[in-house]
Amino acid sequence: MSTVIKGGTVVTADLSYAADVRIEGGRITEIGPDLKGDTVLDATGCYVMPGGIDPHTHLEMPFMGTYSADDFESGTRAALSGGTTMVVDFALPAPGQGLLDALKMWDNKAGRANCDYSYHMAVTWWGEQVFDEMKPVIEDRGINTFKHFMAYKGALMVNDDEMFASFNRLAELGGIAMVHAENGDVVAELTAKLLAAGNTGPEAHAYSRPAQVEGEATNRAIMIADMAGVPLYVVHVSSEDAHEAIRRARSLGKRVWGEPLIQHLTLDESEYFHPDWDHAARRVMSPPFRNKKHQDSLWAGLMSGSLSVVATDHCAFTTEQKRYGVGDFSKIPNGTGGLEDRMPMLWTHGVATGRLTPNEFVAVTSTNIAKVLNCYPRKGAILVGADADIVVWDPEKEKTITAGAQQSAIDYNVFEGHKVKGLPRFTLTRGHVAVHDGEIRTKEGHGEFVKRPGNGTVNRALSTWKELTAPRPVERTGIPATGV
């Protein structure tokens, strides 16, 4: 059985052209004019793009005394509804738990996924077992990205010496280091001080995590990665301070990528000053939403290429869960949703405003991350042989975002009331039409794990360069005898 997407304009990260796309056995088998197939999807007036890849989700994650509310079923259903066809979730070992053991827990949850998925491995503590298991995680499991939390002191945070040891190991094994960059020690002190002074509301969450705290940690992570000779990916870049560090590092030839979130690009800190406690608490995440200066910086980074990828950090908690923090903002579970809204919000605020071209949109929502993660061109491409993860995008289709109509399991949406123009007509996950003109036809369990081998091209280039420029002893002609 074959499917043909007919009459659309293929839009990739490189170019746009009129062509039909034929799919068989879950893969793209032909691209060209006048193709025939058993099923025809009418793409007239639409762009045929690689499905979105969201490289940053937390589905059913144990965190801050509870579990994030969207699991792999509802989370990937939300993803497909918004044109995203692959998610990369963080497998988080509990303190003292082995990496391989944590992966088993994630495997049990992820079996329900409606679209393909992969994992990043989190390094939440350091020891011989973690050092040893990093090798099979990369070589046997095909997980080449390892996240380090520089914040959440007393829970997930790792210190500089642990991070340096882990980064060195990654350099050796051909992995990529990731960081949540905030100075956890300073955040902990500021939190205690704010609470002691009676600042208990959700706005104090933002006061406790100023942009400087993020900028400092980003600079530190870049330095440590440079010393270890490992590529670095900075998640949820929210501020000019962090972006400036990344921009500078890249201009110096360092291998660093930055990932802003759709929330930080489109929502600002005024959300925390809303008189309704629930409204503000629902938007508590780390780093917090910032002011226009920072938002402009993030947009400029996407436009100029100093920032590479737009993600969501989808970590959805219900209002009831957010209320664990009434009277103490530090107990509000950190996280916001966005899986269903990332693509339409970025199109509306990016492409429709002229800040991004349609090709740049494809780059930052799909192709760039597929390359970084080493799963391109199986993912992130409209090419013969690639997986048929495709979104047929109707630039004229409009809606107003509302929690009542969303796929996510939570009872609100941080983008409530935002009008978006540009939505999927069809979303295909390995050939299966999961979204058909507004109708959700997802198949629970259809998703497969995507292996991503280590030692990608950037790793190889960086290790070659580091080897070539490594400190070497000077060969001298005369050495004085010691003690004379």
Nearest residue to 393 via CA among 48, 40, 21, 7: 48
Stretch that binds Zn ion, among 256-264, 292-300, 308-316, 352-360 (CB under 5 A): 308-316
| Nearest approach, Cβ of residue 313 and Zn ion (Å) | 4
| Nearest approach, Cβ of residue 272 and ligand URP (Å) | 13
360 binds Zn ion (CB under 5 A): no
315 binds ligand URP (CB under 6 A): yes
Please tell me the distance from the alpha carbon of residue 220 to that of residue 415, in angstroms, as a whole number: 33
- With contacts defined by CB under 6 A, how many residues of the chain interact with ligand URP? 9
Joined together, the tokens standing for residue 342 give: 């990332």
Residues 178-197 that bind Zn ion (CB under 5 A): 180
Total number of residues shown for the chain? 484
Please tell me the distance from the alpha carbon of residue 329 to that of residue 324, in angstroms, as a whole number: 9
Of the two residues 85 and 334, which places its CB atom closer to ligand URP in the complex?
A: 334
Q: Which does 148 bind (CB under 5 to 8 A by kind): ligand URP, Zn ion, none?
A: none
Q: Amino acid identity of 387?
A: D
Q: Note whether 160 and 219 are within 8 A (CB).
A: no
308 binds ligand URP (CB under 6 A): no
Stretch that binds Zn ion, among 71-79, 132-140, 158-166, 309-317 (CB under 5 A): 309-317
88 binds ligand URP (CB under 6 A): no
> If DSSP codes are grouped into helix, strand and coil, which group holds residue 154?
coil
| Cα 208 versus chain centre, distance | 24
Q: Amino acid identity of 89?
A: D
Q: Which does 302 bind (CB under 5 to 8 A by kind): ligand URP, Zn ion, none?
A: none
| Cα 164 versus chain centre, distance | 23
**What's phi and psi for 423, nearest 5 deg?**
-145, 160
Joined together, the tokens standing for residue 419 give: 């009008």
> If DSSP codes are grouped into helix, strand and coil, which group holds residue 195?
helix
Nearest residue to 67 via CA among 316, 336, 404: 316
332 binds ligand URP (CB under 6 A): no
432 binds Zn ion (CB under 5 A): no
Q: Which does 418 bind (CB under 5 to 8 A by kind): Zn ion, ligand URP, none?
A: Zn ion
Q: Which does 335 bind (CB under 5 to 8 A by kind): Zn ion, ligand URP, none?
A: ligand URP
| Nearest approach, Cβ of residue 10 and ligand URP (Å) | 34
89 binds Zn ion (CB under 5 A): no
| Nearest approach, Cβ of residue 425 and Zn ion (Å) | 21
Joined together, the tokens standing for residue 36 give: 């025939």
313 binds ligand URP (CB under 6 A): yes
286 binds ligand URP (CB under 6 A): yes
**Candidate list 79, 103, 256, 285; residue touching ligand URP; CB under 6 A:** 285
State the number of CA atoms in the 13 A half-sphere of 288 facing the CB: 30
**Candidate list 6, 180, 205, 430; residue touching ligand URP; CB under 6 A:** 180
| Nearest approach, Cβ of residue 201 and ligand URP (Å) | 17
Nearest residue to 88 via CA among 115, 128, 117, 45: 117
264 binds Zn ion (CB under 5 A): no
Of the two residues 214 and 360, which places its CB atom closer to ligand URP in the complex?
A: 214
Please tell me the distance from the alpha carbon of residue 159 to that of residue 10, in angstroms, as a whole number: 46
Please tell me the distance from the alpha carbon of residue 82 to that of residue 438, in angstroms, as a whole number: 10
Distance between start and end Cα atoms, the chain: 87
Of the two residues 141 and 418, which places its CB atom closer to Zn ion in the complex?
A: 418
Residue number, nearest CB to ligand URP: 334
| Nearest approach, Cβ of residue 411 and ligand URP (Å) | 18
425 binds Zn ion (CB under 5 A): no
Q: Is the dihedral of CA 291, 293, 297, 303 positive or negative?
A: positive
Nearest residue to 231 via CA among 251, 257, 258, 255: 255
148 binds Zn ion (CB under 5 A): no
| Nearest approach, Cβ of residue 179 and ligand URP (Å) | 11
Give exposure, 172-191, as e/b (b: 16+ Cβ within 10 Å).
ebbbbbbbbbbbbebbbebb
| Nearest approach, Cβ of residue 256 and ligand URP (Å) | 18
Contact positions toward ligand URP, by CB under 6 A?
58, 180, 236, 285-286, 313, 315, 334-335
